[in-house]
């Protein structure tokens, strides 16, 4: 059985940074609503500036560095994917559509056969 490890923030400075991130996000949202009379540009600028500052603080914390490392690794893995050609994609899509049509016909035929057997022959509800 596989065990999953839960990573927690261990250092005090990282906990403080994450607390600051939370406060910056709350301040950015509050600023957006409190600056409603100043105009939309000011509102959005305050919100985006607060969120950008929060993102910057997050990225210098250990969880932020781990997220960046994970993102780099994920991007490297995506580059390794061999994507199908257009011809292969069209062929496989055609196979899927054909299979769906065949399966729909099979299920319809099965339904109608069971309906005929149950209602027509056994129960005699049909004329």
The per-residue pLDDT for range 30-46, each reduced to its tens digit, is 999 999 899 999 999 99
26 and 50 share one domain: yes
At 122 the pLDDT is 84
104 and 67 share one domain: no
25 and 67 share one domain: yes
At 9 the pLDDT is 55
Total domains present in the chain: 2
62 and 90 share one domain: no
63 and 123 share one domain: no
37 and 53 share one domain: yes
23 and 51 share one domain: yes
The parts of the chain modelled with pLDDT lower than 70 are 1-10, 126-127
The answer to whether residue 2 sits within a structural domain is no
Count of beta carbons in the 10 Å neighbourhood of residue 60: 11
14 and 61 share one domain: yes
Q: Range of 101's domain?
A: 84-127
pTM, 2 dp? 0.57
69 and 92 share one domain: no
- The mean predicted confidence, pLDDT, of the chain is 91
CB 74, CB 81: distance < 8 Å: no
């Amino acid at each position: 059985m596989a065990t999953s490890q839960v990573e927690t923030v261990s250092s005090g400075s990282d906990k403080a940074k994450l607390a600051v991130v939370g406060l910056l996000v709350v301040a950015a949202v509050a600023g957006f609503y409190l600056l409603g009379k100043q105009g939309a540009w000011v509102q959005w600028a305050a919100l985006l500036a607060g969120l950008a500052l929060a993102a910057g603080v997050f990225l210098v914390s250990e969880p932020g560095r781990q997220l960046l490392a994970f993102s780099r690794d994920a991007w490297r893995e995506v580059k390794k994917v061999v994507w199908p050609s257009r011809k292969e994609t069209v062929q496989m899509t055609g196979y899927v559509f054909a299979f769906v049509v065949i399966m729909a016909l099979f299920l319809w035929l099965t339904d109608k056969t069971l309906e005929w057997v149950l209602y027509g022959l056994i129960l005699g509800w049909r004329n």
